[in-house]
């Protein structure tokens, strides 16, 4: 009851202010790192979402809504993200959120948004825990770690013919979760784990590299983000270790090559975010992206775009269910779970009861000579329906 009265107040408020078009302001938010070490990935998400919003502005205008996107910065930090989530919850004109980049941020911020029923659609979170908590407002359009981990492990076993693997993680919810899944899959095939450790170190990897040289693994798996793995792989190659390095979607950034230099050769990563040239519909969006932001669209830009489209189609569905009137946040939250979002770059999105995408694709990318090439594609299914 209270919520509707607040909505009514905002409605009356905007009418009373006598805005020229008398349109109701309707906002969605993006929540991702816009500053700090991971801002490259976070900005891609926001920019991608903005493109989707631009596309939908006319359609919402016809319904009487003035649609806009507000970008919130979480600095890849759980506390900052949660604080931003509280701000989002307090702004009642925001109906849903595209975000976040980091699982470690998504977990507390979706919990902070849950009581006010603000739906989240994540373009990037892969940790199992993100949806395993059974929150009604948390959804994601990417594959989970229990799909990504085995994909990375199988790749090392079959394509790289690795007999022993050195495991590293960045001690975040993302890195630890992903690497644990990789380890499980490797152990299931009796692969030797020549080392398994976590490190928050950002610059000096000399001790780890000495150990890698001693244990001579066939491959290294690093569950981490490009700004750490790039530095690591650079030092690794300088120390004369040339074995392939495999990682997760945290490496999906051009910055990986900038930081790693020649060291990023022979690096592979699994990603849920498709390369633009692997998606038939992506050309137009890619052009719009580079025109608007002066950069090429990358994986997370595409998924930011897709996640925003899911959000907007969810709101449209909720609005339709509500007799073409402004839906409440709760209605949007419910509609999000049953939406069948189409016209996306990564194919149709439908969520299962937990908020996981029913069928997702996983890509294995290879970096060589500073270029990103698609190595193979794997279809994955959500664990429950």
Partner 1 sequence: MDFATLAPFLVGVIISGLVLGFVYAIIALGYTMVYGVLQLINFAHSEVFVTGAVVGFEIFRVLADNPINGYLKLLIALVAAMAASGGLNVLIERLAYRPLRNAPRLVPLITAIGVSLILQDLIRIIEGFQGRFDLTYQLPQGFSTPFCGPESTCSGVGSLLAKIGISLQIKEVVMVLVALLSLAALNYLVNFTKLGRAIRAVAQDRVTAGLMGIDANGIISLTFLIGGALGGVSGVLFGLKFGTVNAYSGFDPGIIAFTAAVLGGIGSIPGAVLGGLVLGVIQNLIGVTNILGDALGIANLGVIDSSYQRIGGFLVLVLILIFKPTGLLGRSNVEKV
Shortest gap between Cβ of 204 and partner 1 (angstroms)?
6
Shortest gap between Cβ of 219 and partner 1 (angstroms)?
19
3 state SS of 21:
coil
In sequence order, the β-bridge partners of residue 30 are 71, 98
In the bound state with partner 1, the residue whose beta carbon lies nearer, of 5 and 203, is 203
Shortest gap between Cβ of 207 and partner 1 (angstroms)?
3
Shortest gap between Cβ of 227 and partner 1 (angstroms)?
5
Q: Give 233: exposed, middle or buried? Use CB within 10 Å, 0-12, 13-18, 19+.
A: buried
Dist. CA 15–CA 10, nearest whole Å: 8
In the bound state with partner 1, the residue whose beta carbon lies nearer, of 136 and 234, is 234
The candidate with the shortest Cα–Cα distance to 31, out of 91, 71, 75, 80, is 71
Shortest gap between Cβ of 206 and partner 1 (angstroms)?
4
Rounded alpha-carbon distances, angstroms, from residue 33 to 38, 50, 141: 6, 15, 19
In sequence order, the β-bridge partners of residue 121 are 98, 139
Q: Give 293: exposed, middle or buried? Use CB within 10 Å, 0-12, 13-18, 19+.
A: middle
In the bound state with partner 1, the residue whose beta carbon lies nearer, of 37 and 64, is 37
In the bound state with partner 1, the residue whose beta carbon lies nearer, of 64 and 261, is 261
Give the contacts of 307 (CB within 8 A, at least 6 positions apart): 45, 48, 49, 98, 121, 122, 123, 141
Beta strands 24-32 and 192-198: pairing type?
unpaired
Instruction: At 28, list the tokens.
Output: 């969605």
Shortest gap between Cβ of 40 and partner 1 (angstroms)?
8
In the bound state with partner 1, the residue whose beta carbon lies nearer, of 202 and 320, is 202
Shortest gap between Cβ of 258 and partner 1 (angstroms)?
6
DSSP 132-159: HT--SSEEESS--HHHHHHHHHHHHHHT
Rg of the chain, C-alpha, whole Å: 21
In the bound state with partner 1, the residue whose beta carbon lies nearer, of 77 and 132, is 77
Dist. CA 244–CA 261, nearest whole Å: 15
Shortest gap between Cβ of 354 and partner 1 (angstroms)?
32
In the bound state with partner 1, the residue whose beta carbon lies nearer, of 210 and 377, is 210
- Map tokens 């407002």 to a residue: 137
In the bound state with partner 1, the residue whose beta carbon lies nearer, of 77 and 321, is 77
- Which uninterrupted H or E stretch holds 70? strand 65-73
In the bound state with partner 1, the residue whose beta carbon lies nearer, of 133 and 234, is 234
Dist. CA 297–CA 290, nearest whole Å: 7
Shortest gap between Cβ of 281 and partner 1 (angstroms)?
29
Shortest gap between Cβ of 78 and partner 1 (angstroms)?
17
Give the contacts of 325 (CB within 8 A, at least 6 positions apart): 319
- Contact residues for partner 1 (CB under 8 A)? 35-37, 39-40, 171, 195, 197-204, 206-208, 210-211, 213-215, 227, 230-231, 234-235, 238-240, 255, 258-259, 261
In the bound state with partner 1, the residue whose beta carbon lies nearer, of 39 and 50, is 39
């Amino acid at each position: 009851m209270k919520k509707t009265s607040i909505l009514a107040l905002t409605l009356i408020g905007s009418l009373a202010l006598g805005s020229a078009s008398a349109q109701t302001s309707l906002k969605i938010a993006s929540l991702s790192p816009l500053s700090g070490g991971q801002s490259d990935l976070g900005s891609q998400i926001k920019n991608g979402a903005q493109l989707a919003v631009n596309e939908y502005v006319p359609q919402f205008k016809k319904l009487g809504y003035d649609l806009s996107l507000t970008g919130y910065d979480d600095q890849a930090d759980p506390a900052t993200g949660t604080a931003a989530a509280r701000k989002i919850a307090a702004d009642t004109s925001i109906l849903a959120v595209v975000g976040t980049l980091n699982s470690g941020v998504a977990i507390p911020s979706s919990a902070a948004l849950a009581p006010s029923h603000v739906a989240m659609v994540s373009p990037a979170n892969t940790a199992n825990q993100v949806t395993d908590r059974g929150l009604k407002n948390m959804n994601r359009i990417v594959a989970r770690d229990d799909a990504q981990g085995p994909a990375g492990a199988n790749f090392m076993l079959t394509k790289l013919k690795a007999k022993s693997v050195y495991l590293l993680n960045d001690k975040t919810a993302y890195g630890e979760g992903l690497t644990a899944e990789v380890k499980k899959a490797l152990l299931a095939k009796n692969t030797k784990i020549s080392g398994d450790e976590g490190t928050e170190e950002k610059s000096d990897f000399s001790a780890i590299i000495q150990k890698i040289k001693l244990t001579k693994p066939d491959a290294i798996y690093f569950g981490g983000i490009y700004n750490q793995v790039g530095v690591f792989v650079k030092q690794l190659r300088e120390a004369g270790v040339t074995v392939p390095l495999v990682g997760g979607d945290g490496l999906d950034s051009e910055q990986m090559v900038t930081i790693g230099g020649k060291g990023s050769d022979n690096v592979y990563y699994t990603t849920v975010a498709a390369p633009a040239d692997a998606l038939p519909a992506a050309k137009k969006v890619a052009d719009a992206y580079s025109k608007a932001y002066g950069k090429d669209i990358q994986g997370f830009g595409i998924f930011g775009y897709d996640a925003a489209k899911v959000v907007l189609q969810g709101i449209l569905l909720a609005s339709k269910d509500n007799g073409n009137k402004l839906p409440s946040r709760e209605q949007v939250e419910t509609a999000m779970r049953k939406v069948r979002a189409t016209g996306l770059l990564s194919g149709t999105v439908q969520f299962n009861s937990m908020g996981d995408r029913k069928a997702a694709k996983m890509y294995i990318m290879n970096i060589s000579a500073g270029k990103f090439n698609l190595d193979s594609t794997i279809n994955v299914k959500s664990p429950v329906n």
